[in-house]
Amino acid sequence: MRKLSASERGRILTLLCEGMSIRAVTRATGASKNTVIKLMIDAGKACAAHHDASVRDLNSKRVQVDEIWSFTYAKAKNVGTAKAAPEGAGDTWTWTALDADSKLIVSWLVGGRDGEYAMAFMDDVAKRLANRAQLTSDGHKAYLEAVEGAFGGDVDYAIIHKIYGTVPEAAKGRYSPAECIGVKKARVEGNPDPAHVSTSYVERSNLTMRMHNRRFTRLTNAFSKKVENHAWSVALFATYYNFVRIHKTLRVTPAMAAGVTERLWEVSDIVALVEAVEAEAPRARGPYKKRAAISE
């Protein structure tokens, strides 16, 4: 089997990170569907390992957290009638934490939206911060216990409730929510600055994720069929967003703004992560056949 060159790998990963679907990438590059999926998985694993090792000891002052919805295989209401629905099918939530100043994705977690996932997510966020920070979340109740368990009293935590008006009959059943007519801020722990109690930056970051990852695009058939592949695609996007994509306002990448790296990455650097993992992995041995016994 022919091995893709580094430039071919780079092109495929670039297209995936710029919002193209798997089949669109195969048409544009000539690579097979299985080749593209395998490269995406390998890159996602390498990116997740790199993020875990490098994005630590952050001097973040303000962190915003939120969740973004998608689904795997079928929407939750349709899983019961779906044929051969795999484990993890249904609603899939991606928890994200964003440094409000550098716009760095501090942490993410793919899974459910319950308290168990909230605890795992907030534990990871707390471990990546080197100092006391101000934290803002929406009114999702799972955050309250999770933040307390992860930070104790060593955080300035506030929540922001959005108040929506009634949904007009003409708008019911559509994706657009009711009009937001106000917000209510509430202190939970410490002494958060009311002027910076907001989730606007992380919500905008989630929109960027939805635009750059085809699996999040609504009303298409590009949704994830396996939750594991969904998670690896998020890991690939997060590294591309943090290290490769220049933020329009900052004029540098979020990783550079946060002091995680001093240079601008290219997609070839992500390819290098994949190749480094491949070089360390033991080569698979072919089938072993015993020699026939020689009779004397």
pLDDT digits (tens, 9 = 90+) for 74-127: 988 888 888 888 888 899 999 999 999 999 999 999 999 999 999 999 999 999
Whether pLDDT at 294 is above 50 = no
Q: What is the mean pLDDT of residues 211-238?
A: 93
Structural contact between residues 63 and 98, judged by C-beta atoms closer than 8 angstroms: yes
pLDDT at 172: 59
> What is the residue-averaged pLDDT of the chain?
91
* 120, 49 contact by CB (below 8 A): no
Report whether pLDDT(290) > 90: no
Given this model, what pLDDT does residue 295 score?
Answer: 42
How high is the pLDDT of residue 83? 83
| 3-class DSSP state of 9 | helix
Q: Could you tell me which residues come within 8 angstroms of residue 274 by beta carbon, excluding any fewer than 6 positions away?
A: 9, 39, 42, 43, 46
Predicted confidence band of residue 32 (pLDDT cuts 50, 70, 90)? very high
Compute the average pLDDT of residues 184-212: 95
* Confidence tier at 3 by pLDDT (50, 70, 90): confident
Classify 6-280 by CATH class: alpha beta
Q: Which spans in the chain are helix H?
A: 6-17, 22-29, 33-54, 115-128, 142-151, 200-212, 227-239, 254-257, 267-280
**Considering just the CA atoms, what is the radius of gyration of the chain in Å?**
22
- pLDDT at 296 exceeding the cut of 50: no
Please enumerate in sequence order all residues whose Cβ is within 8 A of that of 287, keeping only pairs 6 or more positions apart, or say none.
Answer: none
The whole-angstrom separation of Cα 217 and Cα 201 is 20
- Give the pLDDT mean for 217-230: 90
User: Positive or negative, the Cα torsion across 272, 103, 263, 260?
Assistant: negative
Distance of CA 101 to the CA centre of its chain: 19
* Residue 131 predicted with pLDDT over 80: yes
Q: Report pLDDT for 193.
A: 96
Higher pLDDT, 23 or 88: 23
The stretch 225-229 carries a mean pLDDT of 94
Phi-psi region at 219: left, alpha or beta (left = phi > 0; alpha = psi -120 to 50): left
